[in-house]
Amino acid sequence: MASILHIHLWFFVLHTFLCETQMGAYNSGFSVQLIRQNSPNSLFYRSDELPIHRLGSFYQVPKKSNAPSGPFTRVTSNNGDYLMKLTLGTPPVDVYGLVDTGSDLIWAQCTPCNSCYKQKSPMFEPSRSKTYSPIPCDSEECNSPFAYSCSPHNMCAYSYAYADSSVTNGVLARETVTFSSTNGEPIVVGDIIFGCGHSNSGTFNENDMGIIGLGGGPLSLVSQMGNLYGRKRFSQCLVPFRADPHTSGIISFGDASDVSGEGVATTPLVSEEGQTPYLVTLEGVSVGDTFVPFSSSEVLSKGNIMIDSGTPATYLPPEFYDRLVEELKVQSSLLPIDDDPDLGTQLCYRSDTNLEVPILTAHFEGADVQLMSIQTFIPPKDGVFCFAMAGTNDGEYIFGNFAQSNILIGFDLDRRTVSFKPTDCTKQ
């Protein structure tokens, strides 16, 4: 989520079951289109509103261009997050959940909601769905330390927390999920386990209807869909913050998520199978031709950074970040802004056009990934561009979604790899 580290603090150790599915010809995979909030096609579009947030904003809106063949769900961008459309229940109800590779649970705000944040769209009403099936307390799926109690009706209650202190509480249930497809035919997937949240709080906004966990744990959408396709993998292609608002990115599952061809670089996942977050090893970043090591000592920890679609900025160790900024200043012909208190200590430049700064190259273990200015500098206001990275002392380092844009990124949970391919995501 935007400005929210969705590193789940509690892990569910549940067995997931995916039963009757109507996949037809689409059992090879499917794609999810990413929709920007400020696109005229977005559910949340306002022509008089420019989404500006602490470091930037994404909203994802469906795009009908060159998406891979197969089913997809629409995803809208929202305050630095991506909102992915899942259609729940029978009859189907559209739910826009925050796309988050840093957590696992799929959940939506549900009625009755005794203590919930304000939501613009109607909440999911399980009582109206013919396919909603709460998980009973004595079931195998409820055998978890954090599926902590029984509701008065013998339903499996859960509590799931995030690093920013956001919390969702409710009951676990099975439900039918319907995806759109690129040929217009609906794709129905039965018995997806999700959380029906009846008490939810945190740094959400009124467009957020829940969270779609894409982490490596057993409850994530990736893992549950992987049980259908025989392989747990997905890919994403996020449009840059400064892209035309009419454009959109895409998320693909199954065979449609293959990242191959010229220019692909692959790095190993360090996190263990079935665990979240997705940890990789960043050896350093080059500014132009000058290499800036991640650590000034000779010791480099494996799995020192996570790839998180739910966080806009990239967060680095303060000492590494400071060295990176100093090298950028040395190689840039522009003068940093030092007279605008709104910008704080960020490295920012004034420019009326696209910013010309050195190319950065992120050196992951075995994979060099070039980052252009559109991926590393974002405009918090007109005529100003700020470095979309920051230093943090909390020890949790993140490769955020600004830097991930315009890269086709494939997560293969079975092979334990992440692959990167430079791609114009506005044309996917």
Looking at 81, 100, 104, 208, which residue is catalytic? 100
Is 81 a residue of the active site? no
**pLDDT, tens digit, for every residue of 343-391?**
988 999 999 877 889 999 999 999 999 999 999 998 888 999 999 999 9
Judge whether 308 counts as a catalytic residue.
Answer: yes
CA dist 221 and 278 (Å) reads 15
The domain ranges of the chain are 21-257, 265-427
The tens digit of pLDDT for each residue in 151-185 reads: 777 889 999 998 888 999 999 999 999 876 555 67
The pTM score is 0.83
Looking at residue 198, what is its pLDDT? Answer: 95
Fold match between domain 21-257 and domain 265-427: yes
Q: If you classify domain 21-257 with CATH, what class do you get?
A: mainly beta
pLDDT at position 420: 98
| pLDDT value, residue 60 | 24
Topology annotation, domain 265-427: Cathepsin D, subunit A; domain 1 (2.40.70)
In this prediction, residue 15 carries a pLDDT of: 30
Q: Which of 81, 104, 208, 308 is catalytic?
A: 308
Stretches in the chain below the pLDDT threshold 70: 1-80, 144-148, 180-184, 245
Looking at this protein, which amino acid is placed at residue 426?
Answer: T
Pairing of strands 74-78, 21-22: unpaired
Which secondary-structure segment (H or E) carries 96?
strand 93-100
pLDDT value, residue 58: 23
Sequence-distant (≥ 6) Cβ neighbours of residue 171 within 8 angstroms: 134, 135, 151, 155, 156, 157, 158, 195, 196, 198
Nearest Cα neighbor of 238 from 421, 47, 54, 97 is 421
